[in-house]
Amino acid sequence: MSKKSMLNATKSYEELIERSRRWAQNRSDIRTVIITGSRARVDHPADEWADLDIIIVTTDPEQYVTKSDWISNMGKPLLTFIEPTATGGEKERRVLFNGMLDVDFSIVPKEKAESLLKAAANPQARAQISDLLSRGIRVLVDKDNVVKRMRSLVTSAEKTPRSPPTQDEFFEVVNDFLYHGVFTAKHLARGELWWTVMCLDCYMQRLLLTMMEWHALAAHNWKYDVWFRGRFLEEWAEPEAVKKLRGAFAHYDREDIKRALLVTMNLFSRLATETATKLAYTYPIEADRKVTNWIRKCLSQEA
């Protein structure tokens, strides 16, 4: 995208933001509207490909989830659909406007926002507030001073450290991964390539990402900036692990699945073993050895 195109996109988003602000200001049920994500960040700010993330706090969330006519107040939509938010707690309406302007409207009930503030003494709730503020937000509407009250609880500079997994939580991820390694090999032997490649490239890689996060945090400290859902992974993960990822994903091809599964198994095992050592946890070496050997034998026999 050229510099001129980027400037035009930024202008279009700003016009959409201003229309959103005016619309929300005139609706009594909408109490707070804030922008999060790259269009509110100083660190890793928006580039020419960035979307727009808007959180709407309202006393009537259902109408924004079940209806879509309100979107026309912001611009002309090409399409819209509903999906769970990244945390899975609420719903968000995703909209693609003319000009390929993509906007995520997260719809949050007012009582949910208030309950989060009331629970701020709880470390988990405080961490949610801290993470939201520390990444940067842009306030469009704040009729009930929700953002002001958030800022009085934690400063924008405060970074609440993540908690290390417990030994049991660590075992859950390791055992889940090993189990699905066997699952993948069995379905490959059965010839079910779709199931196999989806399990490897999606489910097992999600568990690998969790281990990469824990590995990075254990190697640095639990305030180390590990971004959400693999964002900017190339910057915060161990460089050698990032290199290995080049071979960890499979094509829709029997032989390539075999190759990628073994790469993924080896990478996960190394990161998990090193993480267990850093955390002074035990690691299920025997289970890992038996599972890996069985998978190798199964793949060697698989025609």
Residue 56 belongs to domain with CATH number: 3.30.460.10
pLDDT tens-digit profile of 5-15?
A: 555 677 899 99
pLDDT tens-digit profile of 131-146?
A: 767 778 899 999 999 8
pLDDT at site 279: 98
Q: What is the mean pLDDT of the chain?
A: 90
Same domain, 17 and 138: yes
* 262 part of a folded domain: yes
Same domain, 36 and 116: yes
Same domain, 176 and 147: no
Q: Decide: residue 114, CB within 10 A, 0-12 exposed, 13-18 middle, 19+ buried.
A: middle
Judge whether residue 108 has pLDDT over 60: yes
* 158 part of a folded domain: no
Same domain, 80 and 42: yes
| Number of domains the chain is built from | 2
Query: Do residues 212 and 237 lie in contact, with contact meaning Cβ atoms separated by under 8 Å?
Result: yes
Residue that finishes a domain, picked among 93, 123, 153: 153
The CATH number that applies at residue 259 is 1.20.120.330
Classified as helix, coil or strand, 297 is helix
Range of the domain at 243: 167-301
* 51 part of a folded domain: yes
Same domain, 131 and 173: no
Judge whether residue 157 has pLDDT over 50: no
pTM: 0.77
Task: Tell which residue, 90, 139, 135, 134, has the closest CA to residue 115.
Answer: 90
Out of 13-17, 23-27, 42-46, 58-62, pick the least confident: 42-46
* 101 part of a folded domain: yes
Task: Tell which residue, 195, 197, 199, 209, has the closest CA to residue 256.
Answer: 197
* 160 part of a folded domain: no
Q: What are phi and psi of 277, to 5 degrees?
A: -65, -45
Q: How confident is the model at residue 50 (pLDDT cuts 50, 70, 90)?
A: confident
Q: How confident is the model at residue 158 (pLDDT cuts 50, 70, 90)?
A: low
The rounded distance, in Å, linking the Cα atoms of 134 and 125 is 14
Query: Do residues 71 and 93 lie in contact, with contact meaning Cβ atoms separated by under 8 Å?
Result: yes
Same domain, 148 and 187: no
Out of 34-38, 39-43, 153-157, 199-203, pick the least confident: 153-157
